[in-house]
């Protein structure tokens, strides 16, 4: 689904085509200042997104959806489901996936940039 998220630097918006796998990758890049190397070296192995942060490899779709829900609930909203439901951070990459059911209210129609795919490659090749 095409959504708007913040560009590297966090000030401008860009349209990207995200699914749950890519949304987690994007969120992890946001978390560590858009550094693929830092995401690869993330030491927060208790973070619910940790196993999915590379955006690569085989992933269990149900477990991944649960991890996003858990991250929103426990990490971001101190265990308050109502806060997740009422989240206003529409440019957070996880917004559309914060419930098990996809929230299409943030879907947009602009052409999508493929920026975070470069992030995948950079992970393999080092930060650049």
CA distance linking residue 125 with residue 66, whole number of Å = 30
The packing angle between helices 20-31 and 61-70, to 10°, is: 40
Interaction of residue 23 with ligand SF4, rule CB under 6 A: no
Interaction of residue 117 with ligand SF4, rule CB under 6 A: no
Among 39, 55, 64, 67, binds ligand SF4 (CB under 6 A): 39
Note whether 51 and 39 are within 8 A (CB): no
Among 16, 20, 22, 98, binds ligand SF4 (CB under 6 A): 98
CA distance linking residue 118 with residue 88, whole number of Å = 28
Interaction of residue 28 with ligand SF4, rule CB under 6 A: yes
Q: Which two tokens stand for residue 28?
A: 């992890």
- Choice between 2 and 111, CB closer to ligand SF4: 2
x-marked contacts with ligand SF4 along 74-93 as a string, rule CB under 6 A? --xx------x--x-x--x-
- What's the sign of the alpha-carbon dihedral 65, 70, 71, 73? positive
Interaction of residue 67 with ligand SF4, rule CB under 6 A: no
| Three-state DSSP class for residue 13 | strand
- Closest approach, Cβ 56 to ligand SF4, in A, equals 14
Note whether 63 and 24 are within 8 A (CB): no
- Closest approach, Cβ 34 to ligand SF4, in A, equals 11
Interaction of residue 122 with ligand SF4, rule CB under 6 A: no
């Amino acid at each position: 689904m095409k959504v708007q998220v913040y560009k590297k630097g966090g000030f401008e918006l860009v349209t990207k085509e995200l699914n749950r796998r890519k949304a987690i990758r994007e969120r992890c890049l946001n978390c560590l200042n858009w550094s693929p190397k830092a995401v690869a070296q993330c030491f927060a192995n208790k973070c619910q997104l940790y196993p999915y942060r590379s955006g690569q490899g085989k992933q269990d779709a149900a477990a991944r959806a649960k991890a996003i829900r858990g991250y929103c609930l426990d990490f971001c909203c101190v265990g308050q489901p109502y806060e997740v439901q009422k989240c206003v951070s529409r440019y957070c990459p996880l917004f559309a996936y914060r419930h098990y059911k996809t929230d299409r209210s943030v879907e947009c129609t602009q052409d999508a940039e493929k920026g975070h795919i470069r992030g995948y490659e950079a992970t393999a090749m080092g930060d650049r």
